[in-house]
Amino acid sequence: MKTLITLRVNGKEHEVNVDPQTPLLYVLRNNLGLKGPKFGCGLSQCGACMVLFDGKANPSCLIAVERAAEMEITTLEGLADENGNLHKVQQAFVEEQAAQCGYCLNGLVMASVGLLNEKPNPSDKEIQAGLYRNICRCGVHARVIRAVKKASAL
């Protein structure tokens, strides 16, 4: 049964008319056209769909949109400022060439932002732990760690 739900995404309110149990990821991608968060498994196993919930990174594929309505959601699209200046984590990912195919990148960027929100100067080990459920198949892990280090210094 469809219901009107108000979501707070990237600082703006959005009204969507959906089944309240729809996974948030589908609503972000299909209703709001936010393709930053990626569908990589739909089972909370790969991390590609991460968004920030009140500043903490979590997968969005297994949370009902209704429950997400209580939180401030930030997606990849909401990181850069209004002038298009990249967030420091995004900038560091570009400079350290942390992108290959780019599909897992949303999750890695969001998890890194979430990590730096909690720990502004993480050690390599803490970065590995903080990103440890973001699966990357191209194998850019080492570059991601460097990028997070770089971002933490910016």
CB of 152 to other proteins, least distance (A): 16
Supply the minimum distance, in Å, between the C-beta of residue 48 and other proteins.
6
Q: What is the smallest separation between the CB atom of 89 and other proteins, expressed in angstroms? A: 8
Q: Which of 99, 107, 15, 92 has the alpha carbon at shortest distance from 61? A: 107
Tell me if 105 contacts other proteins by CB under 8 A: yes
How far apart (Å, rounded) are the C-alpha atoms in residues 123 and 130? Answer: 10
Least distance in angstroms from the C-beta of 2 to other proteins:
11
Query: Is residue 113 close enough to count as binding other proteins by CB under 8 A?
Result: no
Which structure tokens are listed for 69? 């309505």
154 binds other proteins (CB under 8 A): no
Is residue 100 involved in binding other proteins (CB under 8 A)? Answer: yes
Question: Following DSSP, what letter does each residue of 54-100 receive, concatenated?
Answer: TTEEE-STTSBHHHHTTSEEE-GGGTS-TT-PPPHHHHHHHHTT--S
Exactly one of 25, 34, 51, 71 binds other proteins (CB under 8 A); which one?
A: 34
CA-CA-CA-CA dihedral for 104, 52, 127, 132, to nearest 10: -50
Judged by CB under 8 A, does residue 38 bind other proteins? yes
Rule CB under 8 A: say whether 141 interacts with other proteins: yes
Q: Does 27 bind other proteins (CB under 8 A)?
A: no
44 vs 67: CA distance, rounded Å: 16
Residues 54-73 within binding reach of other proteins (CB under 8 A): 56-59, 62-64, 66-67
Looking at 7, 25, 40, 68, which residue binds other proteins (CB under 8 A)?
40
Judged by CB under 8 A, does residue 122 bind other proteins?
A: no
